[in-house]
Amino acid sequence: MNDKSGKQAIEYGIVPVDVMASMSGLDFVRAIFARRLPEPPIMQTVEPFDCTVEPGAVVIHSVPGLRHYNPIGSVHGGYAAILLDSAMGLAVQSTLPAGTGYSTLEFKISFVRGMNETSGVIRTEGRVLNAGRRVATAEARITDAKDRLLAHATTTCLVFEFPKGNAKG
């Protein structure tokens, strides 16, 4: 579906487990980025664009604005948390075989430099550090257009097999 500008409208929603389980993690992430599958509803908050994936690595671009502000007049830390957690998780997902998923067990964020509506386009890059059979670890960083580090994070994810015959998300 296209919007009034002719661009493909973004569909948000939950992908059924049986659809996720039928695809490799890399194909699943590629399908989301290509808009063949709906984007997770949380992404409406950060409005990502120009997203790319390769095995073990994801890049997401976004532009922070006034709608992301906290009460003290800067971009809320949750904005960075969504981007960092998404980039790390999708990087992990991109390494998984069909029938396998992940869940974040923990993540840690370090905020280095504040963001505001003048930050412009920011880049969030997630990379897998280790993809084990049951546990995966990843890191991510957010940089601005001048390649200044704004925030970075690490995560530990539980890797699991999807239940057989479960069509619910």
Chain segment 34-70, per-residue pLDDT in tens: 999 999 999 999 998 999 999 999 999 999 999 999 9
pLDDT averaged over the chain?
A: 92
Q: Looking at domain 17-161, what is its CATH homologous superfamily?
A: Hotdog Thioesterase (3.10.129.10)
Tokens in use for 73? 């007049």
Domain map (residue ranges) of the chain: 17-161
In contact, 56 and 94? CB cutoff 8 Å: yes
Full-model pTM: 0.91
Task: Name the pairing type of β-strands 122-131 and 49-54.
Answer: unpaired
pLDDT tens across 78-93, in order? Answer: 999 999 999 999 999 9
